[in-house]
Amino acid sequence: MVERANKPKTLSSTPALPPQATVTFSDDNSRVIAELPTGERVEVLLYGATVISWKDASGDEKLWLSEAAKLDGSKAVRGGIPLVFPVFGSVPDHLKTKDLPQHGFARTSRWEFLGKSTSESLEGETTNDPSVKLDFGLSSGAPGLDPKAAAHWPYKFNLIYSVTLNRESLTTNILATNDDSQSFECHVLLHTYLRVNDITAVSVTGLGGAQYVDKVDSAKTKTQPTEGPLTITGETDRVYTPAENTVTVSEGSTEKYRVTRDKFSNVVVWNPWIDKAEGLADFAPKDGYRQMLCIEPGTVDSWQTVEAGDALAGAQTISLVG
């Protein structure tokens, strides 16, 4: 009788909360791993706040990561989603960024994990569509800042990078705030390495009607608009300014990824192909160019001026289609 009296009561009027997403640190504290109750998973290296893995519920990897990528903080990561800020490539005649590393210092600094938020429960409402958002921060004066940035980027700034995992999509969002008393100029880009099965079967739509700058063949700078889907048959390195804000990557007749931009005017499409991959020490296997295509949303064809006290934001959402 006593045992029965002590049993906890089940309140049938209180709906059970769905299971929460889990967020853990790796044993060496180098990365944050988030997993939805349904099995989708994302892994973010604090070095560069680089997303290095994104898997669906069946464990299928969506991002390409080189087998020779350095994950120890000695070099920008070859694969995943490196973050490009405040300069795209290198611009030798731009006084304020010319001494920074190629693609800037965001991808070569160790970021701070600021925390997580989940959407399983909102003011008592429950949802069956779980998601988790991870926030990372990097600011001037931070201990993890690449020393080259401290030496050559003379501004006070604050970056917040958010990675949101949903069942069918991944969103990455950057907010760059100017905390200085003077304006600064910058580029921002999300250098996403999408994983594909066979690059020769890949086609990209959503670029049509756009002019592009061809970084491989400088004669083709600002060519006439692209007609039809883009296929990859050799080294490709193009900066597009598409009219549409969604780029779709298909393999054969199957749509695979939709990449939607928010507040970004450009998309860089990059594949190093055979010779360039050969020359990149951290690119492995050497025929890995067949399994990847970089679709890189950003604003890089002109400098963005961020006034003192102002902020610049931009985001991509990669949705799984097929």
Ligand X SMILES: O=P(O)(O)OC[C@H]1O[C@@H](O)[C@H](O)[C@@H](O)[C@@H]1O
| Distance separating alpha carbons of residues 79 and 282, to the nearest angstrom | 10
Catalytic residues: 191, 296
What are the structure tokens assigned to 256, written together? Answer: 């695979």
For residue 127, the minimal CB distance to ligand X (Å) is 37
Beta-bridge partners for 81:
51
Please, which of residues 168-197 interact with ligand X by CB under 6 A?
191
Going by C-alpha positions, the residue among 185, 183, 206, 310 that lies closest to residue 257 is 206
**Long-range residue pairs from 271-279, CB within 8 A, at least 24 positions apart, any chain:** 271/199, 271/232, 271/235, 271/236, 272/235, 273/232, 273/234, 273/235, 273/236, 275/235, 276/235
Give me the 228-267 binding string for ligand X, x by CB under 6 A, dash otherwise.
---------x------------------------------
What are the structure tokens assigned to 196, written together? Answer: 């594909």
Question: Which is nearer to ligand X, 180 or 214 (by Cβ)?
Answer: 214
Asked if 103 touches ligand X (CB under 6 A), the answer is yes
Q: Is 304 annotated as a binding residue?
A: no
Of 15, 17, 24, 102, the residue at the interface with ligand X (CB under 6 A) is 102
Asked if 268 touches ligand X (CB under 6 A), the answer is yes
Q: Is the separation of the CB atoms in 240 and 246 below 8 Å?
A: no
Angle 145-146-152 (CA atoms, 0-180°, nearest 5)? 105
Asked if 296 touches ligand X (CB under 6 A), the answer is yes
Asked if 116 touches ligand X (CB under 6 A), the answer is no
Asked if 26 touches ligand X (CB under 6 A), the answer is no
Question: Which is nearer to ligand X, 43 or 296 (by Cβ)?
Answer: 296
Distance of CA 195 to the CA centre of its chain: 13
Cis peptide before 147 (omega within 30 of 0): no
For residue 206, the minimal CB distance to ligand X (Å) is 18
Q: Is 4 annotated as a binding residue?
A: no
For residue 185, the minimal CB distance to ligand X (Å) is 19
Asked if 302 touches ligand X (CB under 6 A), the answer is no
Q: Is 290 annotated as a binding residue?
A: no
Residues comprising the binding site for substrate?
A: 78, 102, 107
Positions in the binding site for ligand X (CB under 6 A): 76, 89, 102-103, 191, 215, 237, 268, 270, 296
